Amino acid sequence: MQQRLWILLAVLGAVAVISGCQSGVMMGPCGDGCPEGTVCDFETGKCVQPRPPDCPKDLGRYLSVASDSTGRTIFSSYTTDYGDLVVGSIRSDSTMNCEYVDGLGSDVGLYTSLAVDQLDRPRVAYFDRSNGRLKYAEKTAGGWEVVTVPRTGSGDNVVGRSCSLALDSDGLPHIAFLDETAGTLNVARKASDGRWAVEVVAGADNGDWPGTLGGEVGRMISTVLDTKDREWIAYRDIHSKSIKVAGRQPDEWSIIEVEADTDLGSWVSAALDLDGNMALAYHDRDEGVLKYAWNQDGSLQKTVVDTGEETAENGAVRKRPVGQHCALAFGCDELPRILYLDGATLELKLVVGKPDGGFTEPEVLSSEGAVGFFNTLAPGPDGLHAASCRYERNQEGDIQATMVHFRLDAGISTWRGRR
Amino acid sequence: MRVVAAILTLVIAGGCNVTPLQEDLDPASVGGQAVEYYVPPTSPLGGVMSDLLASAKADVLKLSLPVVQGSLGGTLEFVTSECELEIPVFDLSAEVLDSKLQIAASMGTAEVTVPLEVYTEGELLRACFLQVNAPERDLHVQLAFCSEPENGPALVVDGAPDIVGMPVTAELDFDCPQQPGSEVQSVVIGSVEDIIQDSVLGFASGLEEVAGDAVGVNSGAAGSMEGLVDFLMLPDSAAAEMGAADLRIGLLGGFESIRAPCVPTDAADLPPSVEPPADFPERVPDLEVPYGLGVSVSKGFLSQGLAAAYRGGLLCRRAGAGDLSDVRLDDLFPSLRALGSLSAVRAAVWPGGQPEMEFTTPDPAAGEDLPRMMVTLPRLTVDIYGNLECTDLRLLSVTADVLVVLAPRLENGSLAFGLAEAHIGSMDINFSELLDESDEDLRAGSIAAAERVIGRLVADMGLLEVPRPACGGGDLLKSALEGGRILLYFAP
């Protein structure tokens, strides 16, 4: 009897946190009930593990952060504990609370991209790996509303990997993502009436595309909106392996090639400076370096921020791959900050732009464990909110992700940056 | 390892795809007798040269007979038409005799029917034909070394070529009108003889080039390997000589480099090391068939190349150089499986001290016929990366004294390398953050992982084309290590 009561409570608890679980407790979907330690997911009719009231042990993969107007850090992440999308916040005492937004019965929550609207409500774009779909969740007064973004073209296309979300001045989402079956970069926009429109941005005419990316692909898309709510999408062209920027003009897309003819890595991060100029940080896998490109009076400028070189005791200069998992944001001092992974030391590093256009020497922000994965940066009223993923082994020897977060001093708070 | 292959390519070949140098190396870096070509009395140079001529479609003399005109006696005049005459060259023989390369060839009979028009007082009277016959002749040409110190040795025609045979004849149609005083035969025959003479002289001059290709006079190279190591290997005027029945050419050779940032600051180029040339005439290899070419390579020259390659950074490899196919690590380090599906292992390699090279005899049981190369790489650091979800992560870094034993082999004229052995000693593990093995397992796994990576790097070196002087274009018959040199005997 006690066991049945526990299961019932667990079910109720799960229903409370699951978006879209509108139905009440009823007989049928899970037959005669679920085995001990599991609860019935009424959406799928499957018995699933109940989610705990606190954050999962594994947290920090596919991380994205934003700040609300009070300076509170909001984050979204994928957890391998349950294959869920988790959204949470960091309290003033650095403890965290989490909500299991989506994932009962399916593997969802990869490539989370988080934004907070002007009413401080979190919105998240993410990938549903079980069904190969792009999903979008937004928190409302009634709880989480989760939708699967409609597909265009073939109904079987796998869409949504590497999605990147930006909110326009009306708080409506613009999501850039990959249609990996078609080999295209797409953008989905939600109108004020709730309908979605999907547009192909680039890559539609490549007949050699094999129809798959072959697995997870890093963050190869990063989207910002300018003051006219036009999308500017920095992305890795999966056909040419180059880095490009697509800008939405009134009648067409303008495509700017930032780096061509090189096997660049899969890590790109874009941001607007305080004057609305686009900049991007990206990793060059061939050279193993972190690069930075920016718009200076309409002219594309590029520089190598970190060459990855270090000098050994014998005087030899050795190179190591740096710049993966990069994240770019501007502080209120108008200077860029870039977080990134040192692939050799597995440290989280930070470089800060200088007024003369250069960058500071790389600073190790964290070296505890293997840290520096899925880095994310977001401006807030009291500095830049930074978070990263650390991999550690748990007692069972499994790799477990832990979210680590920082607050970076970023000049005087003026909150001019677009969230 | 790639460097060693490139060096051997140069050595055996005298040629590879290189960027020509604009400037010569510092003379202090260049030594004599780096490589030696030896053409024994048994080398079938005639056959080799015939093949070269045939492949160049130069074994037939193609003569163009010009328009000639003259008198047929009285008021009759003739004008011939242009036509072609082909004279085949066969039975070419060549041998070194008394410090000269003696070449003999037969030139086949050639016949041609020359159209001819007969005029009288400017009016065409009729058309006739003249039957021209050039009987078989024998050609004798003698080549000798003409050493111009600044240009290297060259084989040049020594004295006038000797042409022996019956004269050209010409027969006019029996009913073609001609009158006393006709000069048609003499004019046409004279013209044909002149053309044949010119053509034979040209052919004899062409033999200089063909003979040079056959014996290696035209070999050698100078250039830069990937812009990091400059090299030079050229025939030496002072070391080209023909004996009573054999021929040898010594090649100058040297390497230079500028220290690359990736190597220690104490890295230094080596001076050229010059060993005496091999005394091929005194060394009669135990072979079932005559050999066409002997090559000897100075070990000091190879060591100089290895040192320059090290100093120039050719032994360095950064992780971004590319994926290593088929290298697994999770069987050596089971704890990696917890990370997920690792793909695309990459490796960075950083030499930490001057490498050294030695040679040992091949293992015939393993099908080896070239000397093994033992390359010692002190304090070599190998960083091994795995790719996890589009992220290159360093999994392991070790520094060790590494001995690599390479087994070079020739495959269809190209040089390939196999890894015969790899020994890892005095190993320090610098980094293993993501591994969870015990110290003992970590150490054993690290040695095996380093061996796998080195093996893959050797295997990925690929084939290197090895052109040789044509008289040694056949299989490698035998190799030997004698004194400070590697001796290679090639079939023609």
A203 & A339 share domain: yes
Q: Say yes or no: A21 and A136 in one domain.
A: no
Let me know whether A206 and A302 are in one domain: yes
Domains of chain B plus CATH, in order, are 45-214 (3.15.10.10)
Looking at the structure, tell me whether residues A235 and A369 fall in a common domain. Answer: yes
pLDDT at residue A201 tops 60: yes
Task: Give domain status of residue A416, yes or no.
Answer: no
**Packing angle between helix B299-312 and helix B2-13, nearest 10 degrees?**
140
pLDDT confidence of residue B13: 36
Distance to chain A for B213, nearest Cα, Å: 41
Residue A25 within any structural domain of the chain: yes
In a domain, A414, yes or no: no
Q: What is the mean pLDDT of residues B67-75?
A: 93
Is it the case that residue A13 has pLDDT exceeding 70? no
% of chain A surpassing 90 pLDDT: 72
| DSSP secondary structure, B37-71, as one string | EEE-TT--HHHHHHHHHHHTT-SEEEEEEPP-EEE
- Residue A380 in domain: yes
pLDDT bucket at A9, cuts 50 / 70 / 90: very low
* pLDDT for A39: 83
A347 lies in the same domain as A332: yes
**What element of type H or E holds B197?**
helix B184-215
Q: What is the pLDDT of residue A126?
A: 98
Interchain CB distance below 8 Å, A316 and B262 = yes
Give, in order, the Cα–Cα distances in Å from B223 to each of B19, B23, B254: 5, 9, 11
For residues A291 and A208, state if they share a domain.
yes
Domain span at residue A6?
A: 1-50
Give domain status of residue A418, yes or no. no
- Statement to judge: residues A69 and A14 lie in one domain: no
Nearest to A218 among B383, B390, B434 (CB): B390
Same domain flag for A22 and A111: no
**Position A316 pLDDT exceeds 90:** yes
Higher pLDDT pick, B386 / B468 = B386
A109 in a domain, yes or no? yes
Confidence of residue A153 (pLDDT cuts 50, 70, 90): low
B436 and A393: CB-CB below 8 Å?
yes
Q: What is the DSSP string of B208-231?
A: HHHHHHHHTTT--EEEEETTTEEE
Judge: B262–A341 Cβ closer than 8 Å, yes or no.
no
> Is the pLDDT assigned to residue B8 strictly greater than 70?
no
Question: What is the model's pLDDT at position B25?
Answer: 82
CB nearest to B319's CB, from A266, A288, A325: A288
Backbone angles phi, psi at A4, to 5 degrees: -60, -40
User: What is residue B327's DSSP assignment?
Assistant: -
The reported pLDDT for the residue numbered B162 is 92
Q: Find, in chain A, the residue whose alpha carbon is nearest to that of B321.
A: A286
| Residues in A touching B350 (Cβ below 8 Å) | 312, 316, 318
Q: Determine contact: B180 vs chain A, CB below 8 A.
A: no
Search chain B and give the residue with CA nearest A401: B339
Task: Write out chain B residues lying below 8 Å of A287, CB-based.
Answer: 320
Q: In terms of CA atoms, which chain B residue is nearest residue A368?
A: B433
Determine the residue among B389, B399, B435 to mutate to test chain A binding: the one whose Cβ has the most chain A Cβ atoms within 10 Å.
B389
Q: Give the model's confidence band at A261: pLDDT under 50 very low, under 70 low, under 90 confident, else very high.
A: low
Interchain contact B398–A (C-beta under 8 A): no
Tell whether B297 is within 8 A of chain A (Cβ). Answer: no
CA distances from A81 to A64, A103, B225, B265, B399 (A): 18, 11, 53, 50, 38
A interface with B, Cβ–Cβ below 8 Å: 215-218, 265-267, 285-288, 309, 312, 314-321, 324-325, 341, 343-346, 369-370, 373, 391, 393, 397-399
Query: Considering only CB atoms, which chain B residues are within 8 Å of A401?
Result: none
| Model pLDDT, residue A12 | 39
Contacts of A399 in chain B (CB under 8 A): 338-340
Q: Domain containing A215 — which CATH number?
A: 2.130.10.10
Whether A417 is in a domain gets the answer no
Per-chain mean pLDDT for chain B: 89
Only one residue has tokens 């037939």, namely B60
The residues near A252 (Cβ < 8 Å, ≥ 6 apart) are: none
Instruction: Report which of A417, A121, A170 is spatially closest to residue A271, judged by C-alpha positions.
Output: A417
Distance from CA of B324 to the nearest CA of A (A): 14
Under 8 Å CB-to-CB from B23, ≥6 apart: which residues?
A: none
**Residue A143: partners with Cβ closer than 8 Å, 6 or more residues away:** A19
pLDDT of A237 higher than 60: yes
Distance CA A128, CA A109 (A): 6
Which pLDDT score is estimated for B26? 86
Look at residue A415 and tell me if it is in a domain: no
- What's the pLDDT score for residue A26? 44
On the CB side of B33, CA atoms within 13 Å amount to 14
Per-residue pLDDT band at A206 (split at 50, 70, 90): confident
State whether A43 and A66 are in the same domain: no
Mean pLDDT along residues B254-278: 90
List, for residues B304-325, the tens digit of each pLDDT value: 999 999 999 999 999 998 889 8
**Spatial contact of A290 and A326, defined as CB atoms under 8 Å apart:** yes
**Angle at which helices B45-55 and B184-215 cross, to 10°:** 110
Average pLDDT value for chain A: 89
Tell me the C-alpha distance between A230 and A247, whole Å.
Answer: 7
Tokens of B401: 């004294």
List the single residue in B with minimal CA-CA distance to A317.
B262
**Which of the four pLDDT bands, split at 50, 70 and 90, describes residue B147?**
low
**A376 and A362 in a common domain:** yes
Q: Are strands B162-165 and B247-257 parallel, antiparallel or unpaired?
A: unpaired
The answer to whether B198 faces chain A, any CB pair under 8 Å, is: no
Number of CB atoms found within 10 A of residue B266's CB:
12
CA distances, A210 to each of A105, A151, A187, A239 (Å): 29, 19, 21, 10
pLDDT band with cut points at 50, 70 and 90 for residue A329: very high
Hey, are the CB atoms on B264 and A315 less than 8 Å from each other?
yes
| Per-residue pLDDT at B115 exceeds 80 | yes
**Number of compact structural domains in chain A:** 2
Cβ–Cβ below 8 Å for B392 and A312: no
pLDDT value for B279: 86
Name the range with the highest mean pLDDT among A37-41, B26-30, B172-176. Answer: B172-176
> pLDDT confidence of A112, banded at 50, 70, 90?
very high
pLDDT of residue B14 exceeding 60 = no
Q: Are A106 and A44 spatial neighbours (Cβ–Cβ below 8 Å)?
A: yes
Q: Tell me the pLDDT band of B100, cut-offs 50, 70 and 90.
A: very high
**CB pairs A-B closer than 8 Å:** 95
Query: Rounded to 10 degrees, what is the CA torsion of B255, B257, B263, B268?
Result: 70
* Whether residues A106 and A183 fall in one domain: yes
Q: Name the nearest CA neighbour of A79 among A54, A109, A102.
A: A109
Task: Mark yes or no for CB contact B338/A317 under 8 Å.
Answer: no
Residue B45 has pLDDT above 50, yes or no: yes
Q: Are residues A164 and A23 in the same domain?
A: no
| Helix, strand and coil percent figures for chain B, each rounded to 5 | 25, 45, 35
